[in-house]
Amino acid sequence: MRSSWVSSLEKIAFPVLNAAAADCLKETMPVYRGRNEFQYLEAVGRIVCGITPWLNLPSDETEEGKLRENYKNLTVNAIKNLVEPKANDYVDFGIGAQALVDAAYLAQGLLRAPVLWEALGTETQIKLLAEMKKTRQFKPAKNNWLLFASMIETFLLVYDNAFNKKRLYYGVDKFINDYYFGDGFYGDGASFSMDHYNSFVIHPMLIDILKYMNTHGLKKSNLYQAKQLPRYKRYVEIQERMISPEGAYPIFGRTLICRFGTFHALAQASLLQLLPANIPYAQVRCGLNAVLKRQMETLTNFDSQGFMKIGFNGKQNQMAEHYVSSGSPYHCSTIFLPLGLDDRHPFWANKDREWTSLKAFNGLEFNADHAYHEKNITKEFFMPFVYKFQSALFKIKRFLK
């Protein structure tokens, strides 16, 4: 099964990384709706976000190891060309606010692969840090964009030993304290939308941001264990149940052209070994494999040059939102995060298991589902006193009558 995942990764990533490494991505990649000023960073950034844990594995002489080394070299050269002003594929991260989004995914990917960061070399590192800092000119909207700013500042904290405190903390504060709606779900800002943005952006970025805040001993890092981790595990539990017995999943909400990038959160939980205790690794592997196989078997997902088409499954331009570019579908690469676990890990090594919905519809035993409710410590502390006061007030009123 692992080899089929690697093959799918190759089919998606190779056309982009190969062209970008050769400094000809702008010449070869198709343009959708004239949004070509953003699509190159978007495509490379989303792929890097998904495949870098795999690239971060130690070198070895296996067939997969040799292939991985080749992709590591392609990725290094692709990033070098993105940030080299003299290169054909250079992208100015200050060109527009959309660059804040795309740079954040590149940042998240590089945080997932210290080996790749080192392989970039000092010159490219300096140029990339300078480009990342250009995104500070863009004020994020009060929605998931806040986390893009926070992610870039986390990247700068780790690799530049400097960060903008307000941009790092503000997004984390708003989501943890103001945008949480319950049972593992955040709103995309102050309002709730029934979509997959909790997986595309919110949970994966909050987990990574708070993890590094914790590692660096920053203020508010206690929110990782106290708030975010249990919310994340509940959401991941729900995601696993979204996979139908046939490997399909709900098609509600925006940006469905990200395809199986819908399972970014579940794939990340596997990589970070944060799956809920009642969900075995092999169960997730088999569920995600069913999803991957179902959509990758649709040959019309790719054009004659191997680039991904706009759509959920095949070419479906009519469903694309105004902000979609030819780089957007490459968010699907985030499903490959578990490839960062070596083949001896239970995710890959344990025998196949049915995922929850397959068990349910086949009449097999499966776990009951329960909502996650947070305890409000302040409320629990004060409410007994409130009740006593109300009772005393009632008695006084009755006496006065």
pLDDT tens, residue by residue, 283-312 = 999 999 999 999 999 989 999 999 999 999
Given a cut of 80, is residue 388 above it in pLDDT?
no
Would strands 180-182 and 185-186 be described as parallel, antiparallel, or unpaired? antiparallel
**Tokens 């978007």 -> residue:** 42
CA–CA distance, 268 with 110 (Å, rounded to integer): 15
- For residue 376, the model assigns a pLDDT of 64
CATH topology assigned to domain 2-375: Glycosyltransferase (1.50.10)
Given a cut of 70, is residue 314 above it in pLDDT?
yes
What is this structure's pTM? Answer: 0.93
Given a cut of 90, is residue 155 above it in pLDDT?
yes
| Contact predicate 23/87, CB 8 Å | yes
* Domain ranges within the chain, ordered by starting residue: 2-375
- For residue 390, the model assigns a pLDDT of 59
**Mean pLDDT score of the chain:** 94
Which DSSP state fits 177? I
- For residue 257, the model assigns a pLDDT of 97
Which comes out higher in pLDDT, residue 378 or 316? 316
CA–CA distance, 328 with 332 (Å, rounded to integer): 9
List, for residues 193-241, the tens digit of each pLDDT value: 999 999 999 999 999 999 999 999 998 889 999 999 999 999 999 999 9
37-41, 49-53, 174-178, range with the lowest pLDDT: 37-41
